Structure 1
């Protein structure tokens, strides 16, 4: 398994095995005051072999402050039922979305979203962003 797409965005959803993403690539969030809702989501595409895709895999996503302290965590599970449309040995793209829109950021500063599939040999990915007072 590999993480092929990882982005912070305004909105994401999975429909019929496809990932829909709106306003991707967020690196800054501006709020009038703090604490304030983070107001964003994480969109992922995991690439798996057919054997991996039919097994269940957990994906742990954490929002952390600059010191690595956990502010929020979502653990999701992915598994695909392969249909007759896949060629033998064809890699499978598996979309995954984590919704952090209502989670509060305590203060302005640097934060990161850490992504760790609970599967051997998959490197974790971290996406950083800065929260600031609008002004």
Structure 2
């Protein structure tokens, strides 16, 4: 089994390479590519780069033969997503949902890190006294 390289997609600040292993048809790759692009082409998404690998198991008795692994770097944060489904369309949909939720976590974590709490009085913050 050799990996088929389907190229790098560069749309604005997104550079994600989609690769296929095994018996993956072009229609399935196109659908996965569309879903991955949709997950990252939103306002407020920082630079994204990395790779998504799609593979189909050769054994016919496998219950969920389609698998995806995504290893992406989103604004200096490593995001790893795994998905496994029965069909290529279900896999692409599941992958999009998981990528979107991980992106939301990364963006939320970034926003939460910007906000800083007021330091307590013993560290030089304002003292709230009940005496007036």
Is the TM value for this pair above 0.5? no
Give the TM-score normalised by the residue count of structure 2: 0.30
Which has the larger Rg? 2
Give the TM-score normalised by the residue count of structure 1: 0.30
Point out which structure has higher relative CO (alpha carbons under 8 A, 6+ apart). Answer: 1
